[in-house]
Amino acid sequence: MKLPTELLLLALTHLASCATLRPRSANFASVRGLTSLSTDHSSNNDVLRPEKYFHESTFHSHYDGRFAEAQLPPQTRAFHLRLLLRSYMDTMDIIGIRTWIMHGCLLGWWWNGKILPWDSDVDVMVDERSMAELGNWWNMTVHHYTAKDLGISAKDMEKPKIPHSVEDQKAHLRKLYLEKEVLRKGKKYLLEVNPHYTNTSTTDRHNVIDARWIDTATGLYIDITTIHVAPTPPDPRDPSSPSSNVEDEDILMFTKDQHAYSHYQIFPLRRSTFESIPVRIPYAYESLLAEEYGLESLTDTWYNGYGFDPDTHEWVIAEPTEQQSKELADREAMKPKPKPKPKERPKPEPKPSPKLATGTVVAEAPHSTGEGVHGDKAGQLGDGRWPPGPGATTKA
Ligand SMILES: *[C@@H]1O[C@H](CO)[C@@H](O)[C@H](O)[C@H]1NC(C)=O
Ligand SMILES: *[C@@H]1O[C@H](CO)[C@@H](O)[C@H](O)[C@H]1NC(C)=O
User: Span 121-141, mean pLDDT?
Assistant: 96
State residue 47's pLDDT score.
Answer: 74
- 204 Cα nearest atom in ligand 2: 4
**Residue 377 C-alpha to ligand 1 middle, in angstroms?**
26
User: Span 183-202, mean pLDDT?
Assistant: 96
Higher pLDDT residue, 373 or 219?
A: 219
**DSSP element (H, E) containing 92:** helix 74-95
**Is 119's pLDDT higher than 70?**
yes
User: Span 315-322, mean pLDDT?
Assistant: 93
CA 109 remoteness from chain centre: 14
The answer, yes or no, to whether any atom of ligand 2 lies below 6 A from the CB of 203, is yes
> Over the stretch 276-316, which tens digit does the pLDDT of each residue have?
999 999 999 999 999 999 999 999 999 989 999 999 999 99
The answer, yes or no, to whether any atom of ligand 2 lies below 6 A from the CB of 201, is yes
**Is 393's pLDDT higher than 60?**
no
Candidate from 192, 200, 204, 210 with most ligand 1 atoms within 8 A of CB, to mutate: 192
The answer, yes or no, to whether any atom of ligand 1 lies below 6 A from the CB of 131, is no
Q: Are 153 and 147 in contact (CB under 8 A)?
A: yes
- Neighbour count for residue 1 (Cβ, 10 Å): 4
> Over the stretch 226-282, which tens digit does the pLDDT of each residue have?
999 998 766 666 655 555 444 556 889 999 999 999 999 999 999 999 999 999 999
Closest residue CA from atom 2 of ligand 2: 204
Closest by CA to 98, choosing from 281, 274, 231, 272, is 281
The residues facing 277 across adjacent strands are 274
Higher pLDDT residue, 38 or 382?
A: 38
- Going 364 to 193 to 101 to 125, the CA torsion angle's sign is positive
**DSSP element (H, E) containing 89:** helix 74-95
- Asked if the bond preceding 268 is cis, omega within 30° of 0, the reply is yes
The predicted model scores a pTM of 0.78
> Over the stretch 2-28, which tens digit does the pLDDT of each residue have?
444 443 333 344 444 444 445 578 888
**Is 133's pLDDT higher than 50?**
yes
The answer, yes or no, to whether any atom of ligand 2 lies below 6 A from the CB of 325, is no
CA distances from 79 to 3, 76, 84, 85, 258 (A): 48, 5, 9, 10, 31
Closest by CA to 225, choosing from 189, 200, 203, is 200
**Phi, psi (deg, nearest 5) at residue 94:** -65, -40
Q: Are 245 and 84 in contact (CB under 8 A)?
A: no
State residue 207's pLDDT score.
Answer: 95
**Is 150's pLDDT higher than 70?**
yes
State residue 228's pLDDT score.
Answer: 96
Of 66-75, 76-85, 141-150, 350-359, the range with the lowest mean pLDDT is 350-359
- Neighbour count for residue 69 (Cβ, 10 Å): 16
Q: How confident is the model at residue 164 (pLDDT cuts 50, 70, 90)?
A: confident
State residue 262's pLDDT score.
Answer: 95
Q: 3-state class of 86 per DSSP? A: helix
Candidate from 22, 196, 203 with most ligand 2 atoms within 8 A of CB, to mutate: 203
Rounded percentage of the chain residues whose pLDDT exceeds 70? 74
User: CA neighbours within 13 Å on the CB side: how many for 335?
Assistant: 12
Residue 31 DSSP label: G
- 198 Cα nearest atom in ligand 1: 13
Name the residue ranges covered by the structural domains of the chain: 22-231+249-363
Pick the most confident of 9-18, 43-52, 144-153, 248-257.
144-153
State residue 237's pLDDT score.
Answer: 67
**Separation of alpha carbons 70 and 179, rounded Å:** 16
State residue 239's pLDDT score.
Answer: 53
CA distances from 258 to 22, 179, 377, 385 (A): 24, 37, 9, 15
Q: How confident is the model at residue 45 (pLDDT cuts 50, 70, 90)?
A: confident
**Is 162's pLDDT higher than 90?**
no
The answer, yes or no, to whether any atom of ligand 1 lies below 6 A from the CB of 133, is no
**Residue 227 C-alpha to ligand 2 middle, in angstroms?**
18
Q: Are 320 and 130 in contact (CB under 8 A)?
A: no
Q: 3-state class of 100 per DSSP? A: strand
Q: Are 121 and 80 in contact (CB under 8 A)?
A: no
**Phi, psi (deg, nearest 5) at residue 301:** -105, 10
- 203 Cα nearest atom in ligand 2: 4
The answer, yes or no, to whether any atom of ligand 1 lies below 6 A from the CB of 195, is yes
> Over the stretch 199-220, which tens digit does the pLDDT of each residue have?
999 999 999 999 999 999 999 9
**Is 342's pLDDT higher than 70?**
no
**Separation of alpha carbons 321 and 326, rounded Å:** 9
**Separation of alpha carbons 192 and 182, rounded Å:** 22
The DSSP result for 113-161, as a single string, is SS--TT---EEEEEEHHHHHHIIIIITTEEEEE-TTTTT--GGGSPPP-
State residue 351's pLDDT score.
Answer: 42
Candidate from 126, 139, 141 with most ligand 1 atoms within 8 A of CB, to mutate: 139
Rounded percentage of the chain residues whose pLDDT exceeds 90? 54
The answer, yes or no, to whether any atom of ligand 1 lies below 6 A from the CB of 199, is no
- The two beta strands, 221-229 and 122-127, are parallel
User: Span 169-192, mean pLDDT?
Assistant: 92
Instruction: Name the average pLDDT for the chain.
Output: 80
The answer, yes or no, to whether any atom of ligand 1 lies below 6 A from the CB of 139, is yes
Torsion of CA 317, 322, 323, 326, to 10 degrees: 110
Pick the most confident of 61-65, 193-197, 228-232, 326-330.
193-197
